[in-house]
Amino acid sequence: MADASAWSTKENLVLASAVEKYGEDNWLQVSRALKAHGNSKRPNSFYSNKRTAAHFKELLVAGEDAKNGKRPKPGGSSSGLSRKKEISKTVDRLRQERIKDLRSNIVGRERQIRELKLDILKVKLGLVDDIIMQQRSAVSEEGKRKRVDSGTVGPPTKKPRRDSQNKVPERAGATVRRSTSGSVGGGGVA
């Protein structure tokens, strides 16, 4: 199970894209973008201004470490143009990671679809009839065993069905009389 506090590739991409759009001095807007496009299951405090700023700095460090082992200058002391390039490269790297994740998800879903189509074909061809009958028998035996264990021996009881012919329709504010022939006639207002 993944760490609940770990940021997904999508969240990282939204964060970097928002920083690229709004700048590193506008963490309120960046935080709002994350709240709007990030993981909706996260508490609002997860995308606080302070937390998003700290995580973005970690992203830049991780990107630089992965690239050449050099760390970016803290606090954005590098020139504005090189910092923008650095942010743009981070967005591009994260976009490629997200595309890779989505492709992987698509491949997994396509595999699931193929398996389901194969299962449907097996059912249509009658190749699983024996398995279905065995499972049905097992379920039936399990139900009988539970009834015996609970002290209810015999077949399960069913609720009695209402006979639709004996139902008498009711009208608000009117009485209904039944004739000797069984037909229903309207009466006067009560």
Q: Does pTM top 0.75 for this prediction?
A: no
Q: What is the mean pLDDT of residues 108-121?
A: 96
* Residue whose pair of structure tokens reads 């508490």 in the numeric block: 43
Query: Which of 94 and 145 is assigned the larger pLDDT?
Result: 94
**pLDDT value of residue 76:** 46
Average pLDDT, the chain: 80
Instruction: Provide the pLDDT for residue 167.
Output: 57
Query: Which residue type, as a one-letter code, is found at position 61?
Result: V
Amino acid at 137: S
pLDDT per residue over 57-68, tens digit each?
998 888 766 565
pLDDT band at 104; cut points 50, 70, 90: very high
Query: How confident is the model at residue 144, as a pLDDT?
Result: 83
Summarised one tens digit per residue, pLDDT across range 150-170 is 776 656 666 666 655 555 555
**C-alpha distances in Å from residue 47, one per residue of 54, 63, 158:** 11, 21, 55
Per-residue model confidence (pLDDT) at position 4:
60
**Where does the pLDDT of residue 145 fall: very low under 50, low under 70, confident under 90, or very high at 90 and above?**
confident
Torsion of CA 181, 186, 187, 190, to 10 degrees: 140
- 111-118: average pLDDT: 97
Residue burial 58-92, b: 16+ Cβ < 10 Å; e: rest: ebbeebbeeeeeeebeeebeeeeeebeebbeebbe
Task: Please report, for the chain, how many H helices and E strands are present, in that order.
Answer: 5, 2
Side-chain half-sphere CA neighbours of 29 within 13 A = 11
Q: Looking at 40-49, 58-67, 92-101, which range is the least confident one?
A: 58-67
The sign of the dihedral angle between the CA atoms of 45, 49, 52, 54 is negative
Phi, psi for residue 16 in degrees, rounded to 5: -65, -40
Lowest mean pLDDT among 12-16, 38-42, 111-115, 163-167: 163-167
**Least confidently predicted of 75-89, 92-106, 172-186:** 172-186
